[in-house]
């Protein structure tokens, strides 16, 4: 019996060719592994296809729940948004895929794992680092990074090896999807001056054709985790699916981003992330309501760092874990309800309530019942401005006075 490799298999042309190519180049029997994290229409069909193109075994699994619990919600609690724009859908899917690839490799007694990433992107880094950390003894094969075939050569290889070529017209874009978002790149999008054509979008309406009537939606959180919509408790996966449909209908969640890749290049990326956009906005709003100014300032620093760690493929690092512990501690009182309005591409927070709110009406009001003692202010201001007044007196040149 030959040694085995476990290949992350999407059912597309590249990974189908890879089944054959790995056997030819490395002599390994290939076991395919396909995971649904909110991106797969028909797992059984993919399983059958893998066997048809020569896999000795084909494993399929639904990991949506695990994805949300262990990857999506932790990054939501951290407010992780890469470069302030990208909700990191593709990026947080990769460590889970790496983890499951290693697990299946163990179960199937494989000596190698393989994936379909090219040598130009971030995904190869995330998978290779994840696999190398969790299964250091496993050999990593990335056929599309190694074989150097053009599209035409790939098709010829497929024809020669009777690998079925998808009959549907190939999309002009490179697309990656999971339940937290959809990433679209290449084709006409490589021209940063060109507005994304309508066919780029699949999850969100165009704002112009979105409903004229706004939709209000209430998202309830417990300790930073969303648990209910409009008062109805539901599973995490279902909650994301319901929000996905509502926000998508109202054209919420489109992102057009010039992004700094880990491998040094800038790339133009389009994202659709309707549910993520709403949840990140709601979470941040609730947090603003229950944490102090100093906690919020510090947490924002951590958020940037946390997003970079995810983006840069360092999910399985001690630092990511350290930061997650900090983030979890900050979520103790992030409990309450945020009311949002979805309308023609906008998502606006219009209401908030929490039993732990630090918003005190008797301190904030300008109306009757004001408990704020205005007579305290002059003394406070004298001390607050003391260093500045002192410096202005002693070092006139430090002050812009003109």
Stretch that binds ligand ARG, among 22-30, 172-180, 237-245, 360-368 (CB under 6 A): 172-180
Q: Which of 10, 14, 79, 182 is catalytic?
A: 14
Site string for ligand ARG, 63-92 (x = CB under 6 A): ---------------------------xx-
CA distance 288 to 390: 34
Per rule CB under 6 A, count of chain residues that contact ligand ARG: 11
Q: Is 183 in the site for ligand ARG (CB under 6 A)?
A: yes
79 an active-site residue? no
Q: What track of x and - describes contact with ligand ARG for positions 104 through 123 (by CB under 6 A)?
A: ------------------xx
CB distance 270 to 189 below 8 Å: yes
Q: Of residues 29, 36, 79, 94, which has the active-site annotation? A: 94
Cβ contact 286:336 at 8 Å: yes
Name every residue whose Cβ is closer than 8 Å to that of residue 46 and which is 6 or more positions away in sequence: 9, 10, 11, 34, 40, 58, 60
- 236-258: buried (b, 16+ CB within 10 Å) or exposed (e) per residue? bbebbbbbbebbbbbbbbbbebe
CB of 119 to ligand ARG, least distance (A): 13
How far is the C-alpha of 288 from the C-alpha of 148, rounded, in Å?
50
Q: 346-353 and 139-141: which strand pairing?
A: unpaired
Per CB under 6 A, contacts with ligand ARG among 305-324 are: none
CB of residue 80 to ligand ARG, shortest distance in Å: 12
Residue from 14, 79, 176, 177 binding ligand ARG (CB under 6 A): 176
Calculate the alpha carbon distances from 17 to 30, 56, 121, 156, 185 in Å.
Answer: 12, 14, 20, 10, 22
Angle, CA 277 vertex, CA 99 and CA 265 arms, to 5°: 65
Binding of residue 269 to ligand ARG (CB under 6 A): yes
The answer to whether 10 contacts ligand ARG (rule: CB under 6 A) is no
Q: How far is the CB of 172 from ligand ARG (least distance, A)?
A: 13
Q: In this complex, which beta carbon is closest to ligand ARG, that of residue 185 or of residue 272? A: 185
Q: What separation in angstroms does the CA of 79 have from each of 16, 25, 153, 173, 329?
A: 37, 44, 43, 28, 14
22-49 burial: b if 16+ Cβ within 10 Å, else e: bbeebebbbbbbbbbbbbbeebeebbeb
Residue 389 bears catalytic tag = no
Q: Which of 36, 123, 128, 176 is catalytic?
A: 123
Select 254 or 352, whichever has its Cβ closest to ligand ARG.
254
| By CB under 6 A, residue 29 contacts ligand ARG | no
Candidate segments 174-182, 223-231, 277-285, 329-337, binder of ligand ARG by CB under 6 A: 174-182
185 touching ligand ARG, by CB under 6 A: yes
User: Is 123 tagged catalytic?
Assistant: yes
Question: Which residues is 233 bridged to in the sheet?
Answer: 228
The CB-side HSE value for 146 (13 A sphere, CA atoms) comes to 13
Query: Out of 2, 65, 162, 174, which residue is the one contacting ligand ARG (CB under 6 A)?
Result: 174
Tell me whether residue 14 is one of the annotated catalytic residues: yes
When the beta carbons of 141 and 285 are compared against ligand ARG, the nearer one is 141
Instruction: List the catalytic residue out of 2, 162, 174, 377.
Output: 174
Just list the catalytic residues: 14, 94, 123, 174
């Amino acid at each position: 019996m030959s040694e085995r490799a476990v290949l992350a298999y999407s059912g597309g042309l590249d990974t189908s060719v890879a089944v054959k190519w790995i056997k030819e180049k490395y002599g390994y029997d290939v076991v395919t592994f396909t995971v649904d994290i909110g991106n797969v229409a028909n797992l059984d069909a993919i399983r059958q296809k893998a066997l048809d193109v020569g896999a000795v075994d084909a494993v399929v699994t639904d990991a949506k729940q695990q994805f949300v619990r262990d990857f999506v919600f932790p990054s939501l609690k951290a407010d992780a948004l890469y470069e302030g724009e990208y909700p990191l859908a593709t990026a947080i899917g990769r460590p889970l895929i790496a983890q499951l690839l290693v697990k299946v490799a163990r179960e199937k007694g494989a000596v190698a794992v393989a994936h379909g990433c090219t040598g130009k992107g971030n995904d190869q880094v995330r998978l290779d680092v994840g696999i190398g950390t969790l299964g250091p003894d496993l050999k990593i094969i990335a056929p599309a990074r190694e074989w150097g075939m053009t599209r035409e050569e790939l098709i010829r290889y497929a024809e020669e090896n009777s690998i079925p070529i998808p009959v549907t017209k190939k999309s002009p874009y490179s697309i990656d999807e999971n339940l937290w978002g959809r990433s679209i790149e290449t084709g006409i999008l490589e021209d940063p001056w060109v507005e994304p054509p309508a066919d780029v979008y699949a999850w969100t309406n165009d704002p112009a054709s979105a409903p004229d009537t706004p939709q209000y939606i209430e998202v309830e959180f417990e300790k930073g985790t969303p648990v209910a919509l409009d008062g109805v408790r539901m599973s995490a996966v279902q909650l994301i699916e319901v929000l996905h449909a509502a926000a998508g209908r109202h054209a919420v969640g489109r992102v057009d981003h010039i992004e700094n890749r880990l491998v040094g290049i800038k790339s133009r990326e389009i994202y659709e992330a309707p549910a993520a956009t709403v949840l990140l906005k709601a979470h941040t709003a609730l947090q603003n309501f229950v944490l102090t100014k100093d906690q919020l300032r510090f947490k924002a620093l951590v958020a940037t760092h946390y997003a970079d760690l995810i983006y840069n493929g360092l999910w399985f690092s001690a630092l990511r874990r350290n930061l997650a512990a900090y983030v979890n501690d900050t979520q103790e009182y992030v409990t309450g309800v945020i009311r949002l309005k979805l309308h023609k591409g906008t998502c606006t927070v219009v209401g908030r309530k929490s039993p732990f709110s630090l918003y005190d009406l008797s301190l904030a009001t300008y109306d009757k019942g004001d408990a704020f003692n205005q007579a305290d202010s002059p003394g406070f201001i004298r001390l607050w401005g003391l260093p500045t007044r002192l410096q202005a007196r002693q070092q006139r040149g430090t002050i812009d006075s003109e």
